[in-house]
Structure 1
Amino acid sequence: MLDTSNPNHYHFTARHLEITVLGGVRLNKLDSLRVTLSINKTDSSEKLRHNIDLYNNNQVEKLVRKVAERLETGTSITRRALQELTDRLETHRLKELEALDSEPMARELTPTELRAAEAFLKKKDLLARTNELIGQSGVIGEHTNRLLMYIIFTSRKSNNPLHCISLGSSGVGKTHLQSKVGELIPETDIVDMTVLSENAFYYFNRTELRNKLILIEDLDGAEAALYPLRELQSKRSITKRVSHKDRNGNTKTIKLTVEGPVSVAGCTTQESIYEDNSNRSFLLYIDESEAQDERIMQYQRAVSAGQANEQEQLKAAELLRNVQMLLRPIKVINPYAMHLALPKSVFKPRRTNAHYLQFIEAITFYKQMQREKRYDKATGEEYIETEIEDIQEANELITEVLLRKSDILNGACRQFFELLKAYLKANGESTFTNAEIRRALRIHPSNQKRYMLQLGQAGLVRKAKGNKRNGYLYEVVSYDEYQNTQTKIRRLLDDIVTRLQGKRDVVVQSSP
Structure 2
Amino acid sequence: MRHSSEPDREQPMSAEEMQAALAYLRADGLSSRIVEDFRKCGLVGERASVLTAYLSSISRKLSDPFGMLIVARTGAGKSSLQDALCNFTPPEDLVRVTRLTGQALFYKDPYSLQRKMLAIAEEEGASQAVYSLRTLASDQHLSIAATRTDPATGKLHTEHYEVFGPVAIVITTTSPEAFDEETRSRFVMLTMDESREQTRAILEQQRRRYTLEGILEQARSERVRRLHHNIQRLIRPIGVMNPFMEYLTYPDDRLIHRREQKKYLALINAIALLHQHQRQIHRAVDEDTEVEYVEVTLDDIALANELAREVLTRSLDEVARRG
Report the TM-score when normalising by structure 2.
0.91
How do 1:100-499 residues align onto structure 2 when only pairs under 5 Å count? Answer: 101-248=5-152, 249-274=154-179, 275-308=181-214, 309-343=217-251, 348-378=256-286, 379-407=289-317
Counterpart code for 1:281: F
Aligned-pair identity (%): 30
Counterpart code for 2:223: K
Give the Cα–Cα distance (whole angstroms) in 1 for the partners of residues 218 and 188 of structure 2.
31
How do 1:17-56 residues align onto structure 2 when only pairs under 5 Å count? Answer: none
Contact 2:48 2:311 in 1 (8 A): no
SS in 1 for 2:209: helix
Report the Cα offset of residue 110 of structure 1. Answer: 0.7
Give the Cα–Cα distance (whole angstroms) in 2 for the partners of residues 180 and 385 of structure 1.
29
Give the Cα–Cα distance (whole angstroms) in 2 for the partners of residues 158 and 207 of structure 1.
15
Give the Cα–Cα distance (whole angstroms) in 1 for the partners of residues 39 and 184 of structure 2.
27
Give the Cα–Cα distance (whole angstroms) in 2 for the partners of residues 119 and 377 of structure 1.
30
Report the Cα offset of residue 408 of structure 1. Answer: 7.0
Contact 2:55 2:271 in 1 (8 A): yes
Contact 1:215 1:264 in 2 (8 A): yes
Contact 1:120 1:126 in 2 (8 A): yes
Q: Relative to structure 2, which stretch is displaced further, 101-110 or 336-345? A: 336-345
The alignment yields a C-alpha RMSD, in angstroms, of 2.1
TM-superposition CA deviations, 1:174-233 (whole Å, max 9, x none): 112111121100111111111111011112111111111010111133212010111111
Report the Cα offset of residue 250 of structure 1. Answer: 2.7
Indicate the structure (1 or 2) with the bigger Cα radius of gyration.
1
Give the Cα–Cα distance (whole angstroms) in 2 for the partners of residues 391 and 382 of structure 1.
21
Report the Cα offset of residue 273 of structure 1. Answer: 4.0
Report the TM-score when normalising by structure 1.
0.59
Report the Cα offset of residue 323 of structure 1. Answer: 0.2
TM-superposition CA deviations, 1:386-435 (whole Å, max 9, x none): 0111111111122112322443776xx7xxxxxxxxxxxxxxxxxxxxxx
Give the Cα–Cα distance (whole angstroms) in 2 for the partners of residues 146 and 349 of structure 1.
24
Give the Cα–Cα distance (whole angstroms) in 1 for the partners of residues 263 and 141 of structure 2.
19
Counterpart code for 2:70: S
Q: Which runs of 5+ in 1 are unaligned?
A: 1-98, 414-453, 459-512
Residues 224 and 390 (structure 1), Cα distance of their counterparts in 2 relative to 1, 3 Å cut: same
Give the Cα–Cα distance (whole angstroms) in 1 for the partners of residues 28 and 168 of structure 2.
27
Residues 305 and 382 (structure 1), Cα distance of their counterparts in 2 relative to 1, 3 Å cut: closer
Q: Which runs of 5+ in 2 are unaligned?
A: none
Contact 2:137 2:187 in 1 (8 A): no
Q: After the TM superposition, which segments of 4 or more aligned residues of structure 1 sit over 6 Å from their partners?
A: none
Counterpart code for 1:322: N
Give the Cα–Cα distance (whole angstroms) in 1 for the partners of residues 249 and 124 of structure 2.
35
* Structure with more contact order per residue of length (Cα contacts < 8 Å, sep ≥ 6): 2
Residues 100 and 132 (structure 1), Cα distance of their counterparts in 2 relative to 1, 3 Å cut: closer
Report the Cα offset of residue 100 of structure 1. Answer: 6.2
Aligned to 1:45: none
